Amino acid sequence: MNPIISAADLASESAGPRPPVLLDVRWQLGGPHLRPEYEAGHLPGAVFVDLDAELAAPPTPGGGRHPLPDPEAFGAVMRRAGVSRDSPVVVYDGGLGWAAARAWWLLRWTGHQDVRVLDGGLAAWHRELTTDVPTPAEGDFRPTPGGVGLLDADAAAELAREGVLLDARAAERYRGDVEPIDRVGGHIPGAVSAPTSGNVTADGRFRPAVELTERFTALGAADAQAVGVYCGSGVSGAHEVLALELAGIPAALYAGSWSQWSSDPSRPVATGPEPQ
Q: 206-247: per-residue pLDDT in tens?
A: 999 999 999 999 999 999 999 999 999 999 999 999 999 999
CA 244 from chain centre, in angstroms, equals 12
Mean of pLDDT over the chain: 96
pLDDT at 29: 82
- Catalytic residues, by residue number, are 231
CA distance between the termini of the chain: 36
Please give the C-alpha separations between residue 83 and each of 2, 99, 148, 246, in angstroms, as whole numbers.
Answer: 19, 18, 19, 24
Burial class (CB in 10 A: 0-12, 13-18, 19+), 186: buried
pLDDT digits (tens, 9 = 90+) for 126-185: 999 999 999 999 999 999 999 999 999 999 999 999 999 999 999 999 999 999 999 999
Peptide linkage before 180 cis (omega within 30 of 0): no
pTM of the prediction?
A: 0.97
